[in-house]
């Protein structure tokens, strides 16, 4: 009695799988349409920017010292001084623009603390 039931179950399982396969075959997506290549993208137009917007750098050399001065719209943005001997430094105008502040670099000003641990 167990045997006919297992045979019936197997027959039903095979029939269900066959029916599911037929349904899936009918619901299969149609092939995608033929794709056409896109036209070539033209290069971007030349940026004819105003030369006054970019910094104008003037380089002066005198007695082994180099001074680079950057101006935007006629106002001094920074001055880089490279002495004959030693490290270069920057002169940046303060808020009012009347005086210059000396800086070793044009970084944001964040300084990481450095501690002396051992000295020989």
What are the residue ranges spanned by the domains of the chain? 56-103
* Greater pLDDT, 108 or 3: 108
Residues 5, 38: Cα–Cα separation, whole Å: 62
Structure tokens at 28: 């299969």
Listed residue (69, 66, 94, 93) closest to 79, CA to CA? 69
| Both tokens assigned to 118 | 């051992």
Q: Residue 89: CB partners within 8 Å, gap ≥ 6?
A: 80, 81, 102, 103, 104
- For the record, the structure tokens of 74 come out as 């006629």
Look at residue 34 in the predicted model and tell me its pLDDT: 87
pLDDT surpassing 60 at residue 1: no
In this model, does residue 112 exceed pLDDT 70? Answer: yes
pLDDT tens for 3-34 read 566 777 788 788 777 777 666 666 666 777 88
Global pTM reads: 0.47
Mean pLDDT value across residues 107-117:
77
Pick the CATH number of 56-103 from 2.20.130.30, 3.30.565.10, 3.20.20.140, 2.70.170.10: 2.20.130.30
């Amino acid at each position: 009695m167990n045997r006919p039931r297992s045979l019936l179950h197997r027959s039903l399982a095979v029939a269900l799988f066959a029916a599911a396969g037929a349904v899936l075959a009918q619901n299969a997506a149609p092939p995608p349409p033929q794709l056409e290549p896109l036209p070539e993208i033209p290069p971007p137009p030349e940026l004819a920017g105003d030369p006054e917007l970019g910094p104008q750098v003037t380089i002066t050399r005198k007695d082994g010292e180099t001074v680079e001065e950057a101006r935007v719209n006629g106002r001094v943005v920074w001055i880089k001084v490279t002495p004959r001997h030693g490290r270069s430094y920057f002169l940046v105008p303060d808020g009012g623009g009347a005086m210059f502040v000396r800086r070793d670099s044009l970084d944001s000003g964040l300084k990481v603390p450095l501690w002396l641990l051992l000295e020989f």
